[in-house]
Structure 1
Amino acid sequence: MNKINIIYWSGTGNTEKMAEAIKKGIEEAGGEAKLLKVSDANISDVEEVDKIIFGCPAMGQEELEEMEMRPFMDEANKKLSGKKVALFGSYEWADGEWMKTWEEEVEDTGATIVDTLIAYDSPNEDALKECESLGKDMARA
């Protein structure tokens, strides 16, 4: 089964819109996607799949959200070795350094990064199409 879990944190709804577009792409490519806010996810949602997508906007000094997403990733990183992973999120300042740092963190677990995607502010139509493409790429990976 080509099942992919999408676990994300969204404060303003931008990352949630991206997650929904990624889910659409997965399903259009014949995959099965489960969309989970990080507050509703648990570590079994990471363990039960070979492919997983995480989403979080840049926060603070270009960091992951620290109350829910950061603690979840600290646990999830222990379970990512051998999995195919994609990362996404939005930002409104700086240059997207948080995504580069996050990608390196996940690669260090032994996971394979299939793709990363960042959108400036509220994702426009082009950014949402890129999200759908990311979903299709993950379904085919």
Structure 2
Amino acid sequence: MSKVAVVFWSGTGNTEAMADLVAQGARAAGATADIIQCGDFSADRIADYDAFAFGCPAMGDEELEDGEFLPMYDEVEPALSGQKVALFGSYDWNDGEWMELWEQRAEEAGLNVVDSVIAKDYPDDDAATDCMRIGAQLA
């Protein structure tokens, strides 16, 4: 049975709801899934998991949150080379460019990005289905 880490930062609860859905999808596909706030995750925990989902909403000018999430992600990204990873997050303005930039960064770092999901504000039915789908892909 595979073990999935669902690591996230959420300011309004939208990305947290997405994290719950990703974990549900992984569990429904037979994996175990731990939902972890980004402040509680570090590179020394990578060996404990088979796959990873990282969630962060768009902040500022289409950027990752830089107070808690980005420092954690900067630390763990080099240790994730070759690992199965999914990315997710919510946004409230613009068009989701932060996710495209994040995917590009992850792929350039050698991560195996299996998929990503974005939601405008709180995840609607389509985004919820997509979150559960990427959880299952990681299982």
- Normalised by the shorter chain, which TM-score bucket? over 0.9
Give structure 2 stretches of 5+ with no counterpart. none
Match of 1:22 in 2: 22
Q: Is the 8 A contact 1:24 1:135 kept in 2?
A: yes
How far apart, CA to CA, are the structure 2 residues paired with 1:130 and 1:45? 26
CA shift, 1:49, in A, is 2.1
TM-score, structure 1 as length reference: 0.94
Match of 2:42 in 1: 42
How far apart, CA to CA, are the structure 2 residues paired with 1:116 and 1:133? 10
Match of 2:7 in 1: 7
% of aligned pairs identical?
Answer: 47
TM-score, structure 2 as length reference: 0.95
The one-character-per-residue Cα deviations of 1:92-128 (angstroms, maximum 9, x if unpaired) are: 1111110011111111121111001101111122221
What SS does structure 1 have at the residue aligned with 2:93?
A: coil
Report the residue type matching 1:57 in the other structure. P
Q: Is the 8 A contact 1:90 1:118 kept in 2?
A: yes
Q: Is the 8 A contact 1:80 1:106 kept in 2?
A: no
Report the residue type matching 2:14 in the other structure. N
CA shift, 1:50, in A, is 3.0
Q: Is the 8 A contact 1:47 1:79 kept in 2?
A: no
Q: Is the 8 A contact 1:15 1:90 kept in 2?
A: yes
Query: Which stretches of structure 1, 4 residues or more, deviate above 3 A after TM superposition?
Result: none
Aligned pair count? 139
What SS does structure 2 have at the residue aligned with 1:6?
A: strand
1:90-101 aligned within 5 A: 90-101=90-101
